[in-house]
Amino acid sequence: MSDFPWQSAFEIREQVAAGKVTAVEVARAYLARAEALNPTLCCFVTIDHEGALAAAAQVDRMRGAGEALGALAGVPIAVKDNLCTRGVRTTCASKILGDYIPPYDAHVVQALRASGAVILGKTNLDEFAMGSSNENSAFAIVHNPWALDRAPGGSSGGSASATAAGLAPFALGSDTGGSVRQPAAFCGITAIKPTYGRVSRYGLVAFASSLDQVGPMARSVREAALLLEVVAGHDGRDATSAERETGSYLAACDRGVKGLRVGVVRDLIAGLQDQNVRVATESALSALEKEGATLVDVSLPHAKHAVSVYYLIATAEASSNLARFDGIRYGLRVPGDDLTETYMRTRAEGFGPEVRRRIMLGTYALSAGYYDAFYLKAQRVRTLIRRDYDRAFESCDVVCTPTTPTPAFALGEKTGDPLEMYLADIFTLPPSLAGLPAVSTPCGLSSGGLPIGIQLVAAPFEEELLCSVAQAVERECGLMGSRPPAIG
């Protein structure tokens, strides 16, 4: 295998299809690397040797028999551990699901299997995808391969760390308020949060149902585009799955940005405290202009309320969704004297501090006497945020901001103050609340050598536009083959 472990998904598939290497050899090499580096990075909760080798052997058999190979034949992939995998433990990094083995596959997992992808294992996350640093995992804290004392971001921190460190060419994550984009920015990779409804949520353990989407995470825009093509599409098992044709995301990467209008949210960029992020964002914008895009100023006057709106709506939905964890049908049960006490003890022992905090906040926001003042008000302000984007898209094709206000913060830096952690999500929350597709792709390194990401947001179902613009950013100011220095 040439260039292991940094070869692309395209190269791996090509080598497997041409018989230059077997899928089993590829799987063995990546499994060995995951085994070797997981004690340092803690990005996998479960490494599935048996399943990975069986899937790889199946690809080799099909090739031997001359059968047509899928788009990801023989390509290793890591899958976030809140996506159900039949027969393989799916924990959501929670004690309450510590031993849970789903009896079915998520839609996106079925799509991966059908494409010939080789699932290496399940990646670590903030418990139930609630967090921005991956420090809320019940099992282990994930480390950022660019600097081991830095957060990988969250909640898809395991998928981001694994991809950035060459433990897999790409991974699936899930994004509710930035959970693929923010870790992608922190770990120097690309991630796409599709339009709400673009990818089926069937088998994604629900956090906030009006916001959750599964998204691809990869070391290049092209690979993220390829993975999106594989997992997108209508699925009757998710009532919110859109009946839309899947786009040509890969082809869109080659379209360029000539004539496209890039909306720049000037006041947000001018307000950045972090000079590194500001400079990297400005230089990416200049590069896009040089490539033929037109920059136009736009504003999102209500974006500053996104943290309040999101942490009311998402927690309200979470408090309702997580009511199902009651110690009766699956997962942990801590018996009490009666049924109520069984519920209360099971949930107190099964959920970690952040999940409990969000259930409490959401229950409060929905409770009698507070519903109008908190939950309903948040849903009304959400409309204003949506209208901000509607107005912006009258004069531009994509809206650009940084993905995060700073590069990766230190592990432990924000754990003492939940509110401070929430405020770090300020740029990724508005498009989530509006249901819009968004991509984060690297646009440079800080003076301290940490990756910086730029976020591009488009109108509903315009993921192709995101691929065109992100590819131009990657070409002009991507990380150009820089590797995370903290791992071998």
Partner 1 sequence: MADPKITLEQVLHVAKLARLALSDEEARQMQAQLDAILGYMDGLGELDVSDVPPTFHSIPMDAPLRRDVPERCADRAETLAQAPASEAGGYAVPLVLEADG
> Which of 433, 439, 457, 467 lies at the binding interface for partner 1 (CB under 8 A)?
433
Binding of residue 210 to partner 1 (CB under 8 A): yes
Q: Three-class SS of residue 166?
A: coil
Active-site hit among 115, 174, 179, 200: 179
**Which part of the chain contacts partner 1 (CB under 8 A), choosing from 4-12, 152-160, 336-344, 470-478?**
336-344
- CB of 433 closer than 8 Å to CB of 455: no
Contact pattern for partner 1 over residues 62 through 101, marking x by CB under 8 A = --------------------------------------xx
Nearest CB to partner 1, comparing residues 60 and 462:
462
Q: How far is the CB of 300 from partner 1 (least distance, A)?
A: 14
Taken as a whole, the chain contains a residue count of 488
Question: Other CB atoms closer than 10 Å to residue 391's CB: what's the count?
Answer: 13
> Which of 19, 54, 67, 237 lies at the binding interface for partner 1 (CB under 8 A)?
237
Residues of span 290-329 touching partner 1 by CB under 8 A:
302, 304-305, 307-309, 311-312, 319, 323, 326-329
* 156 counts as catalytic: no
Q: How far is the CB of 379 from partner 1 (least distance, A)?
A: 3
Contact pattern for partner 1 over residues 128 through 167, marking x by CB under 8 A = ----------------------------------------
Contact pattern for partner 1 over residues 413 through 432, marking x by CB under 8 A = ----xxx--x----------
Give start and end residues of each alpha helix (H) in 262-335. 266-270, 275-290, 306-321
> Which of 383, 395, 410, 412 lies at the binding interface for partner 1 (CB under 8 A)?
383
Rg (CA), the chain: 21
Q: How far is the CB of 370 from partner 1 (least distance, A)?
A: 9
Cα–Cα distance measured from residue 333 to residue 454, given in angstroms and rounded to the nearest whole number: 44
> Which of 44, 146, 207, 351 lies at the binding interface for partner 1 (CB under 8 A)?
351
Binding of residue 435 to partner 1 (CB under 8 A): yes
Q: What are 85's strand-pairing partners?
A: 88
Nearest Cα to Cα of residue 103 among 79, 120, 125, 84: 84
* 320 counts as catalytic: no
Q: What is the side-by-side order of every strand in the sheet holding 451-458?
A: 44-47, 118-123, 76-80, 170-175, 213-218, 190-193, 438-445, 451-458, 398-402, 261-265, 294-298
Q: Three-class SS of residue 99?
A: coil
Q: How many helices (H) and strands (E) does the chain have?
A: 17, 11
Active-site hit among 94, 132, 155, 174: 155
> Which of 30, 170, 196, 249 lies at the binding interface for partner 1 (CB under 8 A)?
196
> Which of 49, 255, 377, 475 lies at the binding interface for partner 1 (CB under 8 A)?
377
Query: What 8-state DSSP symbol labels residue 83?
Result: B
Using alpha carbons, list the distances in angstroms from residue 377 to 45, 134, 317, 372, 480: 39, 30, 15, 6, 45
Active-site hit among 80, 122, 193, 414: 80
List all residues 6 or more positions away from 11 whose beta carbon is below 8 Å from its beta carbon: 2, 3
Cα–Cα distance measured from residue 351 to residue 359, given in angstroms and rounded to the nearest whole number: 10
Which amino acid does the sequence have at 247? G
Nearest CB to partner 1, comparing residues 256 and 460:
460
> Which of 359, 458, 473, 477 lies at the binding interface for partner 1 (CB under 8 A)?
359
**Which part of the chain contacts partner 1 (CB under 8 A), choosing from 7-15, 266-274, 292-300, 332-340?**
332-340
| Phi (first) and psi of residue 326, to 5 degrees | -125, 5
Q: How far is the CB of 323 from partner 1 (least distance, A)?
A: 8
* 80 counts as catalytic: yes
Cα–Cα distance measured from residue 173 to residue 155, given in angstroms and rounded to the nearest whole number: 8
| Catalytic residue list | 80, 155, 179
